[in-house]
Amino acid sequence: MIDFNAEYAKYKEIFELSLEEFYGKLDCKPQILSDSLKYSLKLGGKRIRPVIMFAVGELIGAEHDKLVNYAVALELIHTYSLIHDDLPAMDNDDFRRGKPSNHKVFGEGNAILAGDGLLNTAYSVLFGECFNGSEYVSAAKYICDCAGINGMIAGQSADLLHEKDADSDEEVLNFIYENKTAKLIMAAAVTPSILCGGKYYSELKTFGSDLGHLFQITDDILDVEGSFESLGKSIGKDGSEGKYTSVHIYGLDASKLKADVLVDKCVRLLEGFDGDTEFLRELVYFVRQRIH
């Protein structure tokens, strides 16, 4: 049996080293732009998307070196989305990972530009990969579309639209979870497949989607049951603002049941893979049981 925490830490550490090397590419003028780009990236977090990408890559035989820039780009995209999401006109969050949000440190204008800058830099990195051949282009475009107007941005827009909409239903909630949260997790799981000629493509798409939904439902549960100390962000905010979440729509117990069903789905999916899926299985349990 593997030591899950040690394995997770290993993947994370490998990613942090790649990111460390990458920071030099964020040197730019004026200094405040460079500082604001790095500030949010350096806030850390679980780095779950890179960890998923690396672990899936190891499972299906995608070379690690091929994945590194895709993992960096995906984390840049995720980070830009948090910066813009935290803005007063969006979720209005003053804290992120226990530290002041980007706009609280650098001001709103700079935070908007920091988000734009991270998004643009992610694609500059991915265009750099596109010289390597058409599967590299496919992987880059897949990530881009997961992040776009039929992906994450659509989810953010629906989230904003239904923010205080007590009549929101299951369909709306599913749309938001699928797009706002699951799409980037799908991108993490599917990228190694595209770079391996489509190996386990549809299985990994389903796995990423289910894991993404699970991640969001456990987020909702944590918003009710978690603490500021462990989460590093404001608690009970979604509930108190009347934002519908799975807890709001189904109740706490039914949300937990839904999470467990998704855990089962993910675990059964992994059983269909050749190779050692123990780490990914433990990752599914970790997402369900996490306290942050």
Which residues contribute to the site for a copy of itself (CB under 8 A)? 26, 28-30, 32-34, 37, 80, 84, 87, 89-90, 107-113, 115-117, 119-121, 123-124, 126-128, 130-131, 134, 137, 140-141, 144-145, 147-150, 153-154, 156-158, 160-161, 175
Task: List Cβ neighbours of 43 (8 Å cut-off, separation of 6 or more).
Answer: 96, 97, 99
Q: Which is nearer to a copy of itself, 209 or 218 (CB)?
A: 209
Give the shortest CB-101-to-a copy of itself separation in angstroms.
14
Give the number of other Cβ atoms within 10 Å of residue 123's Cβ: 17
Task: List Cβ neighbours of 216 (8 Å cut-off, separation of 6 or more).
Answer: 177, 180, 181, 182, 246
Q: Which is nearer to a copy of itself, 145 or 225 (CB)?
A: 145
Please give the Cα distance from 227 to 210 (Å, whole number). Answer: 25
DSSP letters spanning 59-125 = HHT--HHHHHHHHHHHHHHHHHHHHHHHSTTTT--SEETTEE-HHHHH-HHHHHHHHHHHHHHHHHH
Give the shortest CB-110-to-a copy of itself separation in angstroms.
7
Q: Which is nearer to a copy of itself, 115 or 226 (CB)?
A: 115
Q: Which is nearer to a copy of itself, 94 or 229 (CB)?
A: 94
CB-hemisphere CA count at 13 Å for 105?
19
Give the shortest CB-63-to-a copy of itself separation in angstroms.
21
Give the shortest CB-40-to-a copy of itself separation in angstroms.
14
Give the shortest CB-104-to-a copy of itself separation in angstroms.
13
Q: At 43, list the tokens.
A: 């806030």
Q: Which is nearer to a copy of itself, 5 or 120 (CB)?
A: 120
- C-alpha angle 149-150-156 in degrees, rounded to nearest 5: 65
Give the number of other Cβ atoms within 10 Å of residue 108's Cβ: 13
Q: At 169, list the tokens.
A: 């239903």
Q: Which is nearer to a copy of itself, 140 or 247 (CB)?
A: 140
Q: At 217, list the tokens.
A: 């439902």
Please give the Cα distance from 241 to 185 (Å, whole number). Answer: 26
Q: Which is nearer to a copy of itself, 185 or 270 (CB)?
A: 185
Give the shortest CB-76-to-a copy of itself separation in angstroms.
11
Give the shortest CB-103-to-a copy of itself separation in angstroms.
8
